[in-house]
Amino acid sequence: MWSQSVSRHIGIVGVSAEGAELLVCPDNTVHQAVDLVRDRSPLPWLHIAEEVAAVAAERRFKRVLVLGTQYLMESPVYAAKLAPRGIEHEIPRREDRERINALTLDELVYGQFKESTRSYFKEVIADGKRCGCDAVVLGCTEFPLLIGEADSVLPVLDSTRILARAALREAVR
C-alpha cells in the first residue's frame, strides 16, 4: 500500500502512460526512497549513487568523501552502493554536516554562492583528504555551482553530471 502511494506521488504511473522508458531523479536525498519503490516500478530507475559508485570504481578511487544534505550524508544511500564495489566512504564531522546542511538550505538553494561558503567547503574537502579520501562526491545539485575541480584538493565526482551522462547513455542504447 505504502509503495503504491509513493509510486503515484512520484509520478511513475503517469510517466509510463506518457511513453517514458526510464526514470531519473537528480535529487540525491530522495534516493533514500528509490530502492523502496524501484522493484515495483513498471519502468527502470537509474540510481544516482550506483552511477557515482560505478564512476568511482572506474577511476579506481578507494575512499570517497560524501557531501550533501545532512539527511543524505547520514543515510545509507552512498554507503550501500559504494561498499559492494569495495569503496569506503567518509562523511564530515557532525558539526560540519550541520553547517553544510544550513548553508545548503539557507544560501545555496537560493542561488547565493558566497566566497566564505566556498572557502568553508574547501576546508571540509581538505579535511577529507587528510582522513585518507581520494575523491569527493558532490551529492547535491547546488554544490558543483560552488565547488569545481579547481577549488578542490580532491578529484570531484559531480553526482548530477554523472547521472545525466548515465541517462544519456541509457537513452541512446
85 and 8 share a domain? no
Picking from 10, 25, 47, the residue at the C-terminal end of a domain is 47
> Residue 16's pLDDT band (boundaries 50, 70, 90)?
low
148 and 117 share a domain? yes
Note the pTM of the prediction, 2 decimals.
0.87
36 and 6 share a domain? yes
> Residue 3's pLDDT band (boundaries 50, 70, 90)?
very low
133 and 77 share a domain? yes
Average pLDDT over residues 105-120: 98
Domain that holds residue 32: 2-47
52 and 129 share a domain? yes
Write down the pLDDT at residue 90: 98
Contact in structure between 160 and 26 (CB atoms under 8 Å) = yes
Instruction: Report residue 165 as a C-alpha cell.
Output: 551522462
> Residue 155's pLDDT band (boundaries 50, 70, 90)?
very high
Number of structural domains (the chain) is 2
Q: Each residue of 45-102: pLDDT tens digit?
A: 899 999 999 999 999 999 999 999 999 999 999 999 999 999 999 999 999 999 999 9
16 and 54 share a domain? no
Mean pLDDT for the chain?
A: 89
